[in-house]
C-alpha cells in the first residue's frame, strides 16, 4: 500500500505532460463556413480584422425616437412642435431672482447642449439651450456643473447639485428645557 500514492502521483504527472505537449491548441474553426475559413498556411495578416467583419452602423436617424424622448422628463413624451408666431411669452415686468430655480440635469453632446431647469411654480421641467430666456435671464453658457445666466449686465449661475458629496451637517437642535418643578408643601393634616 505504500506504492499507491506514488503510483497516483506518477499517473497525474504523466497526464499533465500529455496535455502540455500540444499546448497551445490550434485556432478553432467552429462557426466559420467553408468559404470564409482561411487555410492553415494562410498568413495572419491576410485575414479580415474584427472591425471589418462588424455590420455597418445604423444612421443617426434610426435613433430619433430615443433623442425625441428626453431622458430627464418623467412623462418621456416628445416635445410638441409649437408655432413660433403663436407662442408669445409675456415679458416680466419686475426683476425676478433665481432663488427657487433648480438645475436638474445638463446634457452635453457633440451636437446638443441643453439644461433642464425646474421652476417651483411649474410642474414640468423646462429645457434651456444657449440663448434661451428664463424669467428675464438669458442663458449665456451651459457647463457640465452649472448654467451661467445674464440679465442687464448682471450675471448669476445655477449650480447642479452633486449627490455624491454629503451635505454639510445641520446645526444640532437645542435641547428643550423643562420648567423647574415647584415643590408643594406637604399637607399639615396628613402629618
For 103-132, the pLDDT digits (tens) are 888 999 888 899 988 888 887 888 989 999
Domain 94-163 falls under CATH 3.90.1310.10: no
Which has more pLDDT, 20 or 162? 20
**Where does the pLDDT of residue 33 fall: very low under 50, low under 70, confident under 90, or very high at 90 and above?**
low
- For residue 98, the tally of other CB atoms under 10 A from its CB is 19
Please give the model's pTM, rounded to 2 decimal places: 0.39
133-163 burial, b for 16+ CB within 10 Å, e for fewer?
ebbebebeebeeeebbbebeeeeeebebeee
Give me the residue spans of the domains in the chain. Answer: 94-163
> What was the pLDDT predicted at 93?
43
Q: Angle at Cα 167 formed by Cα 161 and Cα 173, nearest 5°?
A: 140
* CA 99 vs CA 36, 107, 142, 178: distances in Å: 66, 22, 18, 39
Q: Could you read off the pLDDT of 172-186 as tens digits, one per residue?
A: 777 777 777 777 776
> What was the pLDDT predicted at 20?
85
Pairing of strands 133-134, 154-159: unpaired
Q: Is the pLDDT of residue 27 over 70?
A: yes
> What was the pLDDT predicted at 87?
56
Closest CA to 141 of 123, 153, 128: 128
Amino acid at each position: 500500500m505504500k506504492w499507491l500514492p506514488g503510483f497516483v502521483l506518477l499517473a497525474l504527472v504523466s497526464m499533465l505532460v500529455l496535455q502540455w505537449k500540444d499546448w497551445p491548441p490550434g485556432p478553432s474553426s467552429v462557426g466559420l463556413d467553408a468559404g470564409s475559413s482561411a487555410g492553415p498556411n494562410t498568413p495572419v495578416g491576410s485575414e479580415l480584422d474584427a472591425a471589418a467583419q462588424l455590420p455597418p452602423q445604423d444612421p443617426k436617424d434610426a435613433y430619433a425616437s430615443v433623442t425625441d424622448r428626453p431622458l430627464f422628463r418623467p412623462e418621456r413624451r416628445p416635445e410638441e412642435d409649437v408655432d413660433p408666431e403663436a407662442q408669445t411669452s409675456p415679458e416680466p415686468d419686475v426683476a425676478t431672482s433665481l432663488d427657487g430655480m433648480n438645475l436638474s440635469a445638463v446634457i452635453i453632446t457633440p451636437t446638443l447642449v441643453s439644461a433642464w431647469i425646474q421652476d417651483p411654480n411649474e410642474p414640468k421641467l423646462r429645457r434651456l439651450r444657449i440663448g434661451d430666456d428664463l424669467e428675464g435671464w438669458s442663458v449665456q453658457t451651459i457647463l457640465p456643473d452649472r448654467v451661467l445666466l445674464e440679465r442687464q449686465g448682471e450675471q448669476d449661475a445655477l449650480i447642479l447639485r452633486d449627490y455624491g458629496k454629503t451635505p454639510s451637517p445641520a446645526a444640532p437642535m437645542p435641547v428643550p428645557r423643562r420648567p423647574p418643578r415647584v415643590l408643594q408643601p406637604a399637607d399639615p393634616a396628613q402629618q
